[in-house]
Copies of this chain bind each other. A is one copy, B any other.
Amino acid sequence: MTSPNPDRRSERARQAILEAALELCQQQSFAGLTMEGIAKRAGVGKQTIYRWWPSKAAILLEALMERAVDTLDFPDTGDVVADLRTQMTLVVHAFNDPMFSAYSRGLIAAAQSDPEIAAAVVDTVIKPRVDLCVERLEKAQKSGDLRADLDPQDVVELLYAPLYYRLLLHTRPVTEAQVDTILQLTFTGVAG
């Protein structure tokens, strides 16, 4: 799924850096991760890293997102609820993957006291996903499957926020059944 890179040496270095960031983060936690440590383990100069990424959070996010790229593609079978279920179920699986969930929670935790990490999380993780979901929802508005008078961004939030809520607040496990409930209640409405 990575786009072809004309410079294979650069691509090899890039992959080594991403791999080093993931390994070091697993060994030392996000707080212990440094640009120096990543450069040393990847066998590249620190300047190479700084040329490509502004921060350790940006590297780790790129590494995570590249490995989780299958959760990004948004299907379009013509049935918007089925497509949302497919994509949200991938997020449920990611949130139940111990490594992915530990990295995600660590980054979001770090984002609470570091605005640079917060911005990187939004730019790298949240925004690309929201944009693709919005695109799919706009098609659903055109086909009449979704109310035309609403802002798709608000719908994305309604659908995905409960998954993040359980991931971060630990109230209940994130499950496929939760996805069905969210879709059922959101599409039909809860009014009596």
Interface residues of A (CB under 8 A from B): 29, 105-106, 108-113, 115, 118-119, 121-122, 126-127, 130, 140-141, 143-148, 150-151, 154-155, 157-158, 160-162, 164-166, 168-171, 181-182, 185-192
How far is B126's CA from A119's CA once the two chains are assembled, in angstroms?
27
Do A141 and B192 form a contact, CB below 8 Å, given A161-B165, A181-B154? yes
Whether the pair B190, A155 counts as a contact (CB closer than 8 A) is yes
How far is B111's CA from A192's CA once the two chains are assembled, in angstroms?
37
Whether the pair B122, A171 counts as a contact (CB closer than 8 A) is yes
B109, B148, B162: the one contacting A161 at CB < 8 Å is: B162
Query: Which residues in B have their C-beta under 8 angstroms from that of A121?
Result: 169-170
Tell me what chain A mostly uses at the interface: helix, strand, loop, or mixed: helix
B112, B145, B188, B192: the one contacting A109 at CB < 8 Å is: B112
Query: Which residues in B have their C-beta under 8 angstroms from that of A144?
Result: 192
Query: Which residues in B have their C-beta under 8 angstroms from that of A145?
Result: 191-192
How far is B170's CA from A161's CA once the two chains are assembled, in angstroms?
12
Whether the pair B192, A189 counts as a contact (CB closer than 8 A) is no
Whether the pair B111, A110 counts as a contact (CB closer than 8 A) is no
How far is B189's CA from A57's CA once the two chains are assembled, in angstroms?
38
